[in-house]
């Protein structure tokens, strides 16, 4: 446990050391998070067995800090392979998303609640979404349309329970495995995210199809429960 905590601290330090110089230079140099995350992946690759814990810690930090998780997901395929990489990404993404959810809930929900106080329609929809939290989280995780990092904070402001939120994260598994597999085809961390990165057309189409179906499903589902909640809150005269 102490080693894991130390690695988490090192991940924070690595993220800070790689991010701070770019931010400090301001207009003299562009901030490129992809390069920073590639450097972090190279650091993880040199750690050996301890790289698993370090990678998860970095993924958590990246999720909370709105850094592009796709680079880390693809890189996991290069560093760990498809199976171990998928497990590391799922654990890191779930923990990071849960922390962002809690931050959104306890730091933002009070402010939002004050803004919508007395709005019966919003409160009705919020409660309805809370009752169907697991299904909504599951579908939004399957759909690539909903931005991962932003959704983590946004769902914290809704009535979705933490339990349903965490369980709904299983919807990330198909996309995680597919992207880790695509990353494993690159063979090198340096080529991660590059335009000439190898890809499997079958996998690409599978991602598009699953994402499209999930997007349509969650749109129709949320619309239906919202309409029902409004009818219950504001019955027709």
pLDDT tens per residue across span 27-45? 444 667 788 888 889 999 8
Tokens 């299983």 sit at which residue?
Answer: 170
Binned at pLDDT 50, 70 and 90, residue 230 comes out as low
Neighbours of 210 (CB within 10 A): 17
Q: What is the pLDDT of residue 119?
A: 65
Query: How high is the mean pLDDT of the chain?
Result: 77
Q: What is the mean pLDDT of residues 72-81?
A: 93
Q: How confident is the model at residue 232 (pLDDT cuts 50, 70, 90)?
A: low
N-term to C-term CA, the chain: 61
Using one digit for the tens of pLDDT, what is the confidence trace for 155-190?
Answer: 888 888 999 999 999 989 988 988 898 888 877 787
**DSSP, res 172:** G
Helix (H) or strand (E) holding 64: helix 51-64
Residue 233 has pLDDT above 70, yes or no: no
Say if CB 231 and CB 114 are below 8 A apart.
Answer: no
Q: How many domains does the chain have?
A: 1
DSSP letter (8 states) at residue 27:
G
Between these two residues, 8 and 202, which has the higher pLDDT value?
202
Q: What is the pTM of this model?
A: 0.74
- Confidence at residue 207, expressed as pLDDT on a 0 to 100 scale: 67
Contact (CB, 8 A) for 184 and 205: no
What range does the domain containing 199 cover? 2-233
Q: What is the pLDDT of residue 53?
A: 93
- Convert the pLDDT of each residue in 103-143 to its tens digit: 988 887 777 666 656 666 666 667 777 888 888 888 888 87
With beta carbons less than 8 A apart as the criterion, state whether 155 and 132 touch: no
Give tens-digit pLDDT for 46-72. Answer: 888 889 999 999 999 999 998 888 899
Q: How far is CA 157 from CA 63, 72, 107, 144, 225, in A?
A: 17, 27, 9, 21, 18
Q: What is the pLDDT of residue 25?
A: 44
């Amino acid at each position: 446990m102490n080693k894991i905590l130390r690695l988490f601290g090192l991940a924070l330090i690595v993220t800070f050391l790689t991010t701070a110089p770019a931010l400090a230079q301001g207009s003299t140099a562009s901030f490129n998070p992809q390069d920073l995350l590639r450097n972090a992946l190279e650091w993880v690759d040199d750690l050996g067995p301890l790289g698993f814990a370090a990678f998860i810690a970095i993924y958590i930090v990246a999720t909370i800090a709105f850094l592009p998780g796709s680079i880390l997901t693809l890189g996991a395929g290069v560093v760990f392979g498809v199976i171990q990489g998928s497990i590391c990404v799922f654990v890191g993404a779930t923990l990071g998303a849960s922390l962002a959810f809690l931050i959104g809930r306890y730091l933002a929900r009070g402010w939002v609640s004050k803004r919508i106080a007395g709005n019966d329609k919003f409160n009705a929809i919020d409660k309805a979404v809370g009752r169907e939290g697991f299904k909504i989280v599951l579908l939004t995780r399957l759909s690539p349309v909903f931005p991962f990092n932003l959704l983590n904070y946004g769902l914290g402001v809704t009535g979705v329970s933490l339990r349903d939120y965490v369980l709904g994260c299983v919807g990330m598994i198909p996309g995680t495995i597919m992207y880790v597999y695509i990353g494993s085809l690159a063979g090198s961390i340096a080529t991660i995210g590059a335009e000439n990165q190898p890809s499997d057309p079958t996998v690409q189409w599978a991602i598009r199809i699953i994402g499209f179906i999930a997007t349509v499903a969650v749109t129709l589902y949320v619309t239906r429960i919202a309409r029902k909640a409004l009818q219950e809150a504001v019955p027709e005269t």
